[in-house]
Amino acid sequence: MVIASPRRRRPRSTRTGRRSTLASAALLLIGLLATGGAYAAFTGAAAADSSASASIRGANITDGQKLFAANCATCHGMALQGSKAGPTLIGVGAASVDFQVGTGRMPLAANSPQGEKKPRQFTDAQVKNLAAYVASVSPGPGIPAGKYLTGNGNVAKGAELFRINCAMCHNVAGAGGALTQGKYAPSLKGSTAAHIYEAMVTGPQNMPVFNDQNISPEDKANVISYLQYLDNNASPGGLDLGNLGPVSEGLFVWIFALGSIVGITVWLTAKSN
């Protein structure tokens, strides 16, 4: 009689199917690096602004550097690195320089909660040279293309976009309004198309940045068309009282309307006596 020998059990594998801690950490690191790289490339393209010209025609970078050293470097640093007296200009691009210097906000006249619009201190050529120099050191949003500044966009769509994104600070008619800590949203009446576009892509002071992913260049052109329509057309309701809303209207009623009623009442009473 033959007795079968018992089968030998195969040794269990010590592998559990789980990755080691080092392998998981390495995969996580690779994923983070890939995601960060893709995000940096994406936002870099957005910052460059597809609608903006990469170079400024006729600008002299050397002259711009001299102007910067003489007028801006005290606060912003020789390498645009910033200081306690002024923020860094790395990445602001030509659009920010053209807006800030072109509207006279820079150089600042005095320390205040925000820079105020005033007569500018530089010529068109000097502003272009400054913008070209800053953009040459560190690229950023450029000067907007002329096709977006014609004012021939869709006024109705521009009005809708302005009410959604801008009216809470600038007023639905672009008349401006007060903010906190002594700051304010300035009136947009009479602003040039280029400066409106540049403000949207650079977000000066308290204003948020609206890059091409937030509002497309075409829609920025629509917003500009709406603001220019307001500049060129009178209020359909008659006297607009500064477009400041119910505050100015209520004040007008109290002072003039009720005052007139009281005056007429006094006159009628005196006449009857």
Residue 232's CB is within 10 A of a number of other CB atoms, namely 8
User: Which of 13-22, 78-87, 181-190 is predicted least confidently?
Assistant: 13-22
DSSP string, 216-245: -HHHHHHHHHHHHHHHHS--TTS--GGG-T
Nearest alpha-carbon partner for 51 in 137, 148, 131, 120: 148
- Determine, yes or no, domain membership for 243: no
User: Quick check: 149 and 197 in contact, CB under 8 A?
Assistant: yes
d(CA 60, CA 230): 37
Note whether residue 271 is domain-resident.
Answer: no
Does residue 12 fall inside a structural domain?
no
Res. 114 pLDDT band, cuts 50 70 90: confident
Residue 79 lies in a domain: yes
Number of domains in the chain: 1
Quote the percentage of the chain above a pLDDT of 70. 79
User: Domain range spanning residue 115?
Assistant: 53-232
Tens of pLDDT, residue by residue over 136-147, are 998 899 999 999
Quote the CA–CA distance of 107 and 101 in Å, as a whole number.
Answer: 7
- The answer to whether 100 and 204 have CB atoms below 8 angstroms apart is yes
What sign does the dihedral 75-78-80-81 (CA atoms) show? Answer: negative
User: Is residue 63 domain-resident?
Assistant: yes
184: CATH: 1.10.760.10
Residue 78 and residue 71: Cα distance in Å, rounded? 11
Selection from 88, 112, 92 nearest residue 100 by Cα: 92
Its pTM stands at 0.71
Q: What are 143's strand-pairing partners?
A: 53
CB of 141 closer than 8 Å to CB of 202: yes
Tokens of 207: 């204003």
Neighbours of 264 (CB within 10 A): 10
Cα-based angle 236, 240, 242 (whole degrees, multiple of 5): 145
Q: Decide if 118 is inside a domain.
A: yes
Identify the H or E element spanning 26. Answer: helix 21-48
User: CA-to-CA distance for 151 and 160, rounded, in angstroms?
Assistant: 16
In a domain, 197, yes or no: yes
What band does 50 get if pLDDT is binned at 50, 70 and 90?
very low
Q: What is the pLDDT of residue 229?
A: 95
Specify the range with the lowest mean pLDDT, choosing from 61-65, 151-155, 251-255: 251-255
Residue 124 in any domain: the answer is: yes
